[in-house]
Structure 1
C-alpha cells in the first residue's frame, strides 16, 4: 500500500471541498430559479452542443491510500458496503488497515453471537491488507468460539497489527460461569504491537514476553499475579501507560520501568477469593519510582491502597469510593496524602472529600501540600465543605482551583452526624482559619456544571473567594440554568456576582451556560 502524499492529498481534498460547495450552490440556484434554468437549457439546445457526461466523482478520484484512510474511521460493516459504489470501490475495502467488529453495532441488532462470529470469519477470508493498524473484536465470548478467536489473532499478528483489542463480555443468556479466553502464547512474542487491550482473558505467558514496541497496555476483568505482571513489564521496555480495571489476584504492584509514566487502576474486582474480614483488610501496595501520573478511580472493593515510592509523581487522581469503614480508609487517605505532598496536580472525588470532612471534624492534621492545581469532583453541600476547607488550608502554593460537578453519594453519615452542625450558607463567612493560598498564590478558579438548584451554596463560596483571594485573575463559572425562566435565573445570578466585592482589582468573572 502506498504511503500518503500530504501535499497532493491536501490539494485534492481542497479541490473536492470547493467543488462540493459549487455543486451545492448550483443546486440551490436551480431549485429556486426555474426560469433561469429553462433559458439556459434552451440556449444549450439551439447551440447544437452535446451534453457532457459528468466527470468521475471527486472521492473516487482520490488515491487509494487516501480513500483507505477515510474508510479507517468507519465500522467494518459500513466499509464493506462501499463495494457497490463502482468498480474502483469494489475490492478496495479488502485492503483496509482498520478492522473493528462490535456485536452491539446497529448492523448486528437481532443477530446471534454465532452469526456475528461467522461474519468476522467471512470478512477476514476476503481481507488482503499487508499491514494492519487496528484490529478490534468486542462480543459476548463463550468457549465454543475459542478456535475462531485463535484464527482471528493469527490473522491479526500475521498482518503485523499495531493495535489489538480483544474485549469480551459476559453473555446475557449464560447464567453459569464460563471460562475466560486463554490468550495464545504467540501473542506474547510480537514486536509489532503498540497498544493492547484484553478483557475477560486469561493472561498466562509461559514464554518470555517480547513486546518491544508496546506503549500502552490495558487489562480488565482478569485475575493477575505479581509474577505475571513482572514478566509483562520486563518484556515491555518502552511501555508508557499501564491500565488495569476489574482486577484481582495480587497485593503488590512494583513498576520499576523508567518508561512507564502513567498508571490507571479502576474498579477493583470484589472477588470472593479476596474477601477478608474487617480485621484483616486486603492491601495493595504500589511502588513506581519513575511514575508521573497515577489514577485510582471507581470502586475500591475490599482493597486498601498504600503508596510506597512514587517520588517522581506530578499528577495524582483519587476519585474512588469504598465502604464506610472510617478507621480503615482514614488511615489510607492520610497515608496517600503524605506520599503525594510533592505532587503539583491533584484531583479528589466526592468520597475522599467527605472522608476529609470527617478527619477535619475530628481535628486530624493534614500534611502541607505543594499542590499548584487542585480539582475537586463533587457537589458542594454541607458534607464536603470542611473537606474543601481542609485542602485549601494545606495547599499554600495553590494557583488553580477547579470544582466540577460529578457523581456523588452520602458516605460516613454516622461520623459526619454532629460534625456538620452549621449553616451551610454561612459556612465560609464564619471561617476563622488563615488560607495562605488566598493571600499569595490563587490566581484562577473554575466551576464546571453548576446546577441551578445549588446556586446559593456555590455563590456563597464564590463570594468568599472573591472577597479573600488577593491574587485572583480569573474566575469562570459554567452554569446549567433551567426552570421555567432560565434567562431570568441567569440574569439574577449575574446580578449577584456583580454585587460581590473583590479583593483583587484585576479579577475577571465570566459566567456562561
Structure 2
C-alpha cells in the first residue's frame, strides 16, 4: 500500500461538522477561539459566524485589566461577524473607565439584539444607573436572561414575549412598581423559571402571579411580605424573612419545596401562616424545611388537628432543627404522616441558649407533653436516615429511638458530627447505654458514627 504524503492526507479538522466545532468552542474563551483560526483553511473565517459570544474582561488580565484591548477585541469580532444569528451573548465587564464607556456596551447589546440573541447574560459593575438601549427591553427573541450586579433605569414599556428563564442577582431597583411590572404575565407571558437573589427591590411586599411559572427561587433578606399565586408552579426555593402567603392552588401544585425563614416568629399569625404552607403541601415529593420554619409551626396549637393524615408522595425529607423537645415532637408528628418516606436527613443546630433570645421562643413544652405520640408502625418505606451535628442530647436520642421503633425496614442510620463533638457524642452514647439499646431496637440497621 502506498504511503500518502502529508499534503495528500485528509484534513480532518477542516471537515468537522459545525455542531462538533461549536461544542469544542463552548469550552474555550473567545480569545482562544480566535486563535483556532490558524488550525485549518476551513477555520480561517470561523469568527465571522460565531453563535456563542462570551466576552469576559478577566480574560484580558495582565498586571491589571486592559479595558482598551478588551474593547478593541469585542469591536473587531463584531465587525467581522456575518448576518448569522447569535444563540448566546455573555458580557462581563465594567464601565467606570476612560477606555470603556456605556456607549460601547450599549452598541454591543444592540448588536446582539439585531442578531436575534436567544440567551443573554450581563455582568456589569458600575456605580451609576445605566440606560440600556431601548431595543433590549422589547427583544422578541431572548428566551434566557440573566442580569448580575447592575443598576438599570427601566423604561415604561418592557416586553419579553419569548422569555422563559429570568435570573436577577444583585440588581438594584429604584422605583417600587418596577419589579412587579417586570415579572408580570404581561411583560413575560411565557416565563417558567424565575430567580431573584440578593436584589434591592425597593419594596417591602412582593406579589408574584404568573400563570406559566414552574420554578421559583427567592432569596431576599430584606423582603418582609411575599404573596404567591401560580397553579403551575412545581418547585420553589424560598429564603425570606417571614412565612409567605401562598395560595392553596399553588401549594397543591408543588412537588419540590425548600423553605427557610431568616427571622424567628414574633406572633401567632406567623405560626398559622407557616402551618398553612405545611398543611397545603399534599403532593410534595421532596421537602426541605429550615429550623425557623420548624419553630414557627411548633407554636401552632392546632397543627396536630389539621395536618394531613398522609403525605403520600413525600419520599425525601430534609430538616434543620434545634435540639429541643418542641422540635422533636413536631418532627415525630410530621414523620407519622409520611408513609412512603425513603430518605430523611436532619441537621441539628446547637447553641440553643444563644438563639433563644433571638427567636423569642414561647415555652410550648407543656402543650407537647400533653400530645405525646405513641409508637406506630408507619415508616415501612424508610431506608436511610442521616443526622448531622449530632451531640447525643436527650431530645436527639429520643428522636432516634422513635425512628428506630417505627422504621422496621431501615437499612442505614448515620450520625455525623464535628471533630470537636465526636468524643462527647461517643461518651454520651456509652454513658446512656443508648448505642446498645439502638442495636436491640433495630439489629439489622447499620448504625454509623463519623
Structure 2-normalised TM-score?
0.74
Q: Of residues 209, 212, 229 in structure 1, which corresponds to 2:180?
A: 229
For 1:85-122, what per-residue CA distance to the aligned partner results, in whole angstroms no more than 9, with x for missing partners?
Answer: 33333332442211222334585673145554444333
The answer to whether the 8 A contact 1:252-1:286 is kept is no
Aligned partner of 1:433 in structure 2 is 372
Aligned partner of 1:186 in structure 2 is 135
Aligned partner of 2:406 in structure 1 is 469
Aligned partner of 2:193 in structure 1 is 241
Aligned partner of 1:157 in structure 2 is 113
Q: What is the SS of the residue equivalent to 2:250?
A: coil
> By how many angstroms is 1:266 displaced?
0.7
Rounded to whole Å, the distance in 1 between the matches of 2:415 and 2:336 is 26
Aligned partner of 2:227 in structure 1 is 285
> By how many angstroms is 1:307 displaced?
0.5
Q: Of residues 262, 274, 278 in structure 2, which corresponds to 1:336?
A: 274
Q: What is the SS of the residue equivalent to 1:294?
A: strand
| Count of residues in Structure 1 that have an aligned counterpart in Structure 2 | 416
The answer to whether the 8 A contact 2:15-2:42 is kept is no
The answer to whether the 8 A contact 1:442-1:471 is kept is yes
Rounded to whole Å, the distance in 1 between the matches of 2:88 and 2:436 is 51
1:390 pairs with 2:334: no
The answer to whether the 8 A contact 1:256-1:289 is kept is no
For 1:446-485, what per-residue CA distance to the aligned partner results, in whole angstroms no more than 9, with x for missing partners?
Answer: 456956xx475699478425532245454464969979x9
Rounded to whole Å, the distance in 1 between the matches of 2:31 and 2:447 is 46
> By how many angstroms is 1:194 displaced?
0.9
Q: Of residues 209, 212, 215 in structure 2, which corresponds to 1:262?
A: 215
Q: Of residues 72, 77, 98 in structure 1, which corresponds to 2:26?
A: 72
Q: Of residues 30, 53, 57 in structure 1, which corresponds to 2:6?
A: 53
1:368 pairs with 2:321: no
1:416-431 pair list within 5 angstroms: none
The answer to whether the 8 A contact 1:242-1:260 is kept is yes
Aligned partner of 1:306 in structure 2 is 244
Rounded to whole Å, the distance in 1 between the matches of 2:244 and 2:196 is 16
> By how many angstroms is 1:214 displaced?
1.4
Inter-CA distance 169–364: structure 2 relative to 1 (3 Å threshold): farther
Aligned partner of 1:348 in structure 2 is 289
Rounded to whole Å, the distance in 2 between the matches of 1:136 and 1:408 is 43
Q: What is the SS of the residue equivalent to 2:84?
A: coil
Q: Mean alpha-carbon deviation: is it higher for 121-130 or for 147-156?
A: 121-130
The answer to whether the 8 A contact 1:397-1:441 is kept is no
For 1:402-437, what per-residue CA distance to the aligned partner results, in whole angstroms no more than 9, with x for missing partners?
Answer: 32659998673226789699xxxxxxxx9983167x
The answer to whether the 8 A contact 2:332-2:399 is kept is no
Inter-CA distance 465–80: structure 2 relative to 1 (3 Å threshold): farther
Rounded to whole Å, the distance in 1 between the matches of 2:348 and 2:85 is 42
Rounded to whole Å, the distance in 1 between the matches of 2:60 and 2:351 is 34
Aligned partner of 1:38 in structure 2 is none
Larger radius of gyration: 1
Rounded to whole Å, the distance in 1 between the matches of 2:11 and 2:397 is 61
Q: What is the SS of the residue equivalent to 1:152?
A: helix
Q: Of residues 436, 439, 445 in structure 2, which corresponds to 1:500?
A: 439
Aligned partner of 1:217 in structure 2 is 166
The answer to whether the 8 A contact 2:58-2:65 is kept is no
The answer to whether the 8 A contact 1:163-1:194 is kept is yes
Structure 1-normalised TM-score?
0.66
1:412 pairs with 2:355: yes
> By how many angstroms is 1:286 displaced?
3.1
For 1:59-90, what per-residue CA distance to the aligned partner results, in whole angstroms no more than 9, with x for missing partners?
Answer: 44422332123212333233223223333333
> By how many angstroms is 1:263 displaced?
2.1
1:146 pairs with 2:102: yes
Q: Structure 1: 5+ residue runs without aligned partners?
A: 1-46, 171-177, 271-281, 422-429
Rounded to whole Å, the distance in 2 between the matches of 1:123 and 1:289 is 45
> By how many angstroms is 1:390 displaced?
0.8
1:97 pairs with 2:51: yes
Q: What is the SS of the residue equivalent to 1:82?
A: helix
Q: What is the SS of the residue equivalent to 1:500?
A: helix
For 1:271-300, what per-residue CA distance to the aligned partner results, in whole angstroms no more than 9, with x for missing partners?
Answer: xxxxxxxxxxx5333333443333212x63
Rounded to whole Å, the distance in 2 between the matches of 1:125 and 1:420 is 70
Q: What is the SS of the residue equivalent to 2:210?
A: coil
